[in-house]
Structure 1
Amino acid sequence: MTTVLLTLGRLPKALAIVRACRAAGCRVLVADPFRWHVCKPSRDVEKSFRVTAPNDSLSQYLQDLLNIVEQESVDLVIPISEEALHVAQLADKLPARTRLWAAPLAQLAELHHKRDFIALAARKGLPVPETFTANESGARELAQNRDYVEKPVHSCSGIGLRFAKAGESLQSSSEEGLVQTHLEGDLISSLSVVSEGREVATVFYRGRVFAGTVAICFERVDDAAAAQQWVSDFLSDSDYSGFLAFDFIIDESGIARAIECNPRATSGVHFFDLASLGQALLSPESASSIELSSKTRFQWAYSTLTETYAAIFKPREFVRRFKEMLAARDVIWAGHDPLPFLLMTPMSWEILWPAMTSDLSLGEATQRDIAWFGD
């Protein structure tokens, strides 16, 4: 039996991958710096391990993971979120029997860095918005003449995102800040499973209900030809392996422009048939494709409910969100594995408590100990 180690368990996408690997007949382990996480009570997880947070001690974090790999005879290591850039540093330390489902660190770092990714896509001749780091002269000119978006070059979950009107002053002037033209159009996201540059499968989706800038209720998009061509062209000369995600703006003329890249799993994973995804992760070199789920709408039900009630004094928006909630399937609930859903609140306490008692957003509380800042 193949033994799989996931290096994070606190997010719904991790639970989806747990279930995918278990459906493929794997023995599944989960490591997380948090003592409690949504995957911990899952019957599809054989063991959970608490490890050092990489932002507390990277060397100890990597050693903790290596210890699990060696003690449990792990065959496959799958990073889930921001910790992927830390886990990539295990590549030359793993036993010969163990495969890492992640690209090399240099490749991940280039894609994760929002300015470097835009530059890479532009060199490939692909449509992207005008983008600068905040210390470049072009950033000031852009901010004077166009509506723009300002954000850190290393960020996720909408952390540090600011929308500004033309003429408003920049808040950053360093190379760690990004200034990008604010595009109008339809925002859609993609998630691809890629094996040595070969696009095994790609799914597109859009948010229907948001918590801040994070989609918590989302629907599959099946008519994204321009974005699909963009993804295929991007991968045409690549040797990338792993999960790869993009955010696109599709303008009125149908042109797809990628605004950023996430070289990791995203909520798009919920749109894949789990058994098919599990088999592809076990043998990506031989997988021809991945079947899609029969369901086309998914949600984080607790979060969607919260955001629905937050709009209770806006009747039209309240009704819209309520209908979206009724039409979408929860990503945590499974009849054979009910405890992650039933224990969602206590299992998420290490995220919820800091968010309730400090200035941290939920996104920051989720990523604070694993985020990558280009170290």
Structure 2
Amino acid sequence: MPLPISRFSSSVTETFRTPRPRHAPVDWVRSLGRIARQRCVDLVVPVHEGTEILAGVLARYPELMPASTTVLMSRLDLVARLENKYEFQNALKEQGVPTLDFGLVHSREDIEALDFRHDETFALKRVYSRGSQEVYKVHPGEPLPSDLTFEPTNPWLAQRWAEGTSYCSYSVCHDGEIKAHAVYPLRYAIDGTSGLTFESVRHERITAWVRQCVKAFRFSGQVGFDFIEEADQKLWSVECNPRATSGVLLFDPETRVDRAFFGVNEDVIIPRPGARKMLGPGMLMYGWRKSSLPGNTFRGFIRDFRRTDGVIFSRRDPKPGLALPIAMGNVLAEAIRYRVNIPAAFLYDHNWDGASPVDG
């Protein structure tokens, strides 16, 4: 993007234009390596699905990144398996972790053959997707969605639907050890799926689950998990995001979460008690709608909006907030360029759907 919102922050000394990761992955990584060499960068922290693209290119061309620069991520085969929603469930099963019944779907015939098809509600979602886009809730006896399409390289995960409270976790890890950690319930969300507000809570069972999982995988980097806790306290993890997620927004500067990225802290860093953050522009566009929080009222939306800190507006760093219309113009231009909706446009240039970034 020509004018990213970070460019206006007093915390940022310099920004760079690079090729688009999704469309020119090798050139993108070559640019990152050039920047690292010129600016003597010690640590590269990839975010979103640029993690998988970076891992894939460096697996083939490690010389593109200077040997003196550390890249905070796990190896490609691990992040690729965790990113694939079906393979993630298989990985949990291999570790002996209970999962909701699931199956891989390449066709309508595969759906009909599912063991839980005729008497249970289940979810259908692409094995590679983000922001909870293209998620279908299929009820027993009802016809399948008419717009359901099948792609050989991106099949569907079918999984038993669980009703309960939705939680998300976010962690910074080094070699299977958690260095920073946050848990937050899903409240306001775009169509009930992609979070708009974040509130730090303590949930010891989720924390213990994450600790066991990242240790088993010896995971390094940022990782988020999505959970459903049923009324009988059964806890299920339904998705893994082996990269940065919105949970990082809960860490104020006073927490010194930067130490976690370098792995120099001994105690796990957590957000301050009661930390609440929101994506202000997203709340203004979607938060007042009934689909964002069932049972909420417009008065309730106004109350929650007023008492929640935005992640962009800050008295200590006001310019990004003032530059927000410019930054949103970048996103709108991406939406028009790729003919996608605004939530998809935020992510489109660095999405990864399992293909080798080198071979295409």
The one-letter code matched in structure 1 to 2:123 is V
The one-letter code matched in structure 1 to 2:121 is D
Structure 1 residue 189, shift from structure 2 partner: 0.3
What SS does the corresponding residue of 2:352 show, helix, strand or coil?
A: coil
Structure 1 residue 296, shift from structure 2 partner: 2.0
What SS does the corresponding residue of 1:39 show, helix, strand or coil?
A: helix
Structure 2 segments unaligned to the other structure (5+ residues): 356-360
The one-letter code matched in structure 2 to 1:186 is T
What SS does the corresponding residue of 1:81 show, helix, strand or coil?
A: coil
Structure 1 residue 249, shift from structure 2 partner: 0.2
Aligned partner (choices 101, 124, 135) of residue 161 of structure 1: 135
Higher mean C-alpha deviation, range 353-362 or range 213-222: 353-362
Name 2:24's counterpart in structure 1. 57
Structure 1 segments unaligned to the other structure (5+ residues): 1-33
Name 1:119's counterpart in structure 2. 90
Establish whether residue 346 from structure 1 lines up as the match of residue 317 from structure 2.
Answer: no
Establish whether residue 221 from structure 1 lines up as the match of residue 195 from structure 2.
Answer: no
Contact 1:82 1:264 in 2 (8 A): yes
Structure 1 residue 227, shift from structure 2 partner: 1.8
Aligned partner (choices 250, 265, 281) of residue 229 of structure 2: 250
Establish whether residue 96 from structure 1 lines up as the match of residue 96 from structure 2.
Answer: no
Aligned partner (choices 181, 205, 208) of residue 160 of structure 2: 181
Q: Find the aligned partners of 1:359 and 1:311 in 2 and give their Cα distance.
A: 26
Q: Find the aligned partners of 2:11 and 2:305 in 1 and give their Cα distance.
A: 27
Name 2:170's counterpart in structure 1. 191
Contact 1:205 1:218 in 2 (8 A): yes
% identical aligned pairs: 24
Q: Which has the higher strand share?
A: 1
Q: Using a 3 Å threshold, how does the CA distance of structure 1 residues 37 and 143 change in structure 2: closer, same or farther?
A: farther
Establish whether residue 36 from structure 1 lines up as the match of residue 16 from structure 2.
Answer: no
Q: Find the aligned partners of 1:227 and 1:322 in 2 and give their Cα distance.
A: 31
Name 2:14's counterpart in structure 1. 47
Structure 1 residue 139, shift from structure 2 partner: 3.9
Q: Find the aligned partners of 1:156 and 1:365 in 2 and give their Cα distance.
A: 12
TM alignment of 1:1-375, pairs within 5 A:
34-88=1-55, 89-90=57-58, 92-93=62-63, 94-135=65-106, 139-140=111-112, 141=114, 142-167=116-141, 168-169=143-144, 171-173=148-150, 174=152, 176-212=155-191, 213-222=193-202, 224-274=203-253, 275-282=255-262, 284=263, 286-310=265-289, 317-355=297-335, 360-375=340-355
Higher mean C-alpha deviation, range 273-282 or range 165-174: 165-174
1:105-159: CA deviation from partner (whole Å, max 9, x where unpaired): 1111010000000100111111222222213876432333321111111111122
Contact 2:86 2:127 in 1 (8 A): yes
The one-letter code matched in structure 2 to 1:160 is E
Name 1:10's counterpart in structure 2. none
Give the structure-1-normalised TM-score: 0.84
Structure 1 residue 187, shift from structure 2 partner: 0.4
Structure 1 residue 257, shift from structure 2 partner: 0.3
Higher mean C-alpha deviation, range 48-57 or range 284-293: 284-293
The one-letter code matched in structure 1 to 2:106 is N
RMSD over aligned Cα atoms = 2.4
What SS does the corresponding residue of 2:331 show, helix, strand or coil?
A: helix
Higher mean C-alpha deviation, range 170-179 or range 59-68: 170-179
1:324-360: CA deviation from partner (whole Å, max 9, x where unpaired): 2122111112222111111112112121244479752
Q: Using a 3 Å threshold, how does the CA distance of structure 1 residues 322 and 360 change in structure 2: closer, same or farther?
A: same
The one-letter code matched in structure 1 to 2:341 is S
Q: Find the aligned partners of 1:338 and 1:73 in 2 and give their Cα distance.
A: 29
